[in-house]
Structure 1
Amino acid sequence: MLTMMKNHARKLWKSEEGLGTLEVILIIAVIIIIVILFRSWIVEFLTKLMGKAETRSNEIFS
């Protein structure tokens, strides 16, 4: 019984089924950290971009 549990634990440890999930979680964590670090720059960029889009749409539809 003990050897069977050891073998099962060894198979579980070497199993790579959860590896994809771990990679996705790590990628999401890195993206969140980057967004937090560059938050002010991203907000400023998007504000300028939306201002330009509004100006251009006002020119087109006037």
Structure 2
Amino acid sequence: MKFFKLMNRFNREEDGATAIEYGLFAALIAAVIVGTVGSIGSKVATGFEAVDTALSAEY
């Protein structure tokens, strides 16, 4: 009988599921940020190199 009470209480609690959902959302957001920075980062570096080259040629 004690086991069934424990299982009923476990089924009603949603704190664990909510924490897992928040963790999954955070992982998804982190993956999107890493992907975006990875794809944009090389373009930004190329832009800075172009500016550096232009400034080096003048001075």
TM-score for both structures, normalised by structure 2:
0.48
Structure richer in helix, relative to its length: 2
Q: Which has the higher contact order (CA 8 A, sep 6+)?
A: 1
